[in-house]
Amino acid sequence: MARVRNPLEPMSTAVTSIVTLIAVLMGVSLFSALFVDGVHVLGIGDESVCVMDTSTTVGVGDEPARVFEHVPGATVGLSAHPDYCTESPSLVQSLLNTTTRLAPFVFTVGALLLVLRLIRSAKRDGLYTVRTARQLHRLGWWLLAGSVLAAMAVSTAEKALIDSLSRADDISVVSGLWMWDAPFMAILTGLGVLSFARIMRVGIVMREDLDGTV
C-alpha cells in the first residue's frame, strides 16, 4: 500500500521552523541586550527615536515646501514626508516607539501560534473534527480583528509620537484612530478562513448525520 503523505505539509514544517526561529532570535536578542551595549529589541533601549509623518507631503512639483516646526531637542528631515527625530526620547516617547513595533510583532506571532495549534489539533484529532473547525474559526477571527487592532495601535502610537515631536495642529492622538492603513490582505484572509471553518462545520454535521443513518 502506498504511503499517504501528510496533508498538512509543507505548512506544518514551515510554521514550526518559523516559530522556532523567532523564539531563538528573541532569546538571543534579549540575552544580548542584557550584556552587550547597542543591542535593541523592538525599540526597547533605542537611544534615538524617529517617526515619519506619512500623512503630510513636503512639496510637490512647483509647490513650495512647507515649514515644519519641531519641539526643542528634536530634529526634522525633509524628503517626501517630514521625518521627526529626537536623540533624548522621554519615557512616553520610548514606549510609543516600542508600540509601533510591538503591535505588528504580537499580531504575527499570535497568528503563527494559532496556526501551529491548529496543525497539532488536526494531527491529533483529524482534519474534519469539531475541535479543528473551532481552532480554524479562532484563527480567522485573529486575522480579521487582530490585524485591524494592530494597525490602529500602530497608527495611534505614531500620531501620538509625531504630536510629541512637532508643533503641527492637524496631528493628534485621536487622528490615529481613523488615519490607519487598512490591512486588506489580512482582512480578506481572515474572512476566507472564517468561511472555510463554517464550511467544515457544515460538512462535519452532514457526515455525522450520514454515519447515523447508515
Global pTM value: 0.79
Residue 44 pLDDT more than 90? no
In sequence order, the 6+-apart residues with CB closer than 8 A to the CB of 11 are 115, 119
- Residue 167 neighbours by CB distance under 10 Å: 11
**Dist. CA 127–CA 153, nearest whole Å:** 35
What residues does each domain of the chain span? 31-213
Angle (deg, nearest 10), helices 184-213 and 130-141 = 160
Are 103 and 158 in contact, with CB atoms under 8 Å apart?
no
CB 100 within 8 A of CB 161: yes
Q: Does residue 44 sit in helix, strand or coil? A: strand
Query: pLDDT digit string (tens) for 70-123?
Result: 677 776 666 667 888 888 888 899 899 999 999 999 999 999 999 999 988 888
Model confidence at 198: pLDDT above 50: yes
Give the pLDDT confidence of 166-179 residue by residue, as tens digits. Answer: 876 667 777 777 77
53 vs 108, more confident:
108
